[in-house]
Amino acid sequence: MEQKSLACPVCQSNKAEIAGEDVKLSGQFQDKEFLTTPLTVLRCTRCGYYMFFDKLAQFTTKEESDES
Ligand SMILES: [Zn+2]
């Protein structure tokens, strides 16, 4: 199993929240429509950048900062 340390490619923040699971993206490329495999979508909590990962990636997203 592969564990990745998450780092936003934009701001290098390592904090992200799950924006969606089992998300399939549809699109078009050169007159062909395609549908991706289910993806996990993470959103950087600092800059809002969206990151897409397939099911093979594993994350440690247990830490939640409670700022209440
Ligand atoms: Zn970011």
Residue 67 in this model has a pLDDT that exceeds 60: no
Query: pLDDT value at position 58?
Result: 66
**Ligand 1 centroid, distance to 44 Cα (angstroms):** 5
**Whole-number Å distance between alpha carbons of 5 and 53:** 13
Number of structural domains the chain divides into: 1
Is 63 contained in some domain? no
Given the structure tokens 């998300």, which residue do they identify? 23
The 3-state DSSP class for residue 1 equals coil
Is 18 contained in some domain? yes
Is 28 contained in some domain? yes
Query: pLDDT value at position 56?
Result: 65
**Ligand 1 centroid, distance to 43 Cα (angstroms):** 8
Is 64 contained in some domain? no
**Whole-number Å distance between alpha carbons of 25 and 39:** 8
Tens digits of residue pLDDT in 1-47: 455 678 999 999 999 999 999 999 899 999 999 999 899 999 999 99
**Whole-number Å distance between alpha carbons of 68 and 59:** 25
How far does CA 27 lie from the centroid of its chain? 18
Which range of residues forms the domain containing residue 1?
1-58
Beta bridge partner(s), residue 44: 16
Is 22 contained in some domain? yes
**Ligand 1 centroid, distance to 41 Cα (angstroms):** 14
What's the whole-model pTM score? 0.66
Query: pLDDT value at position 12?
Result: 94
Is 68 contained in some domain? no
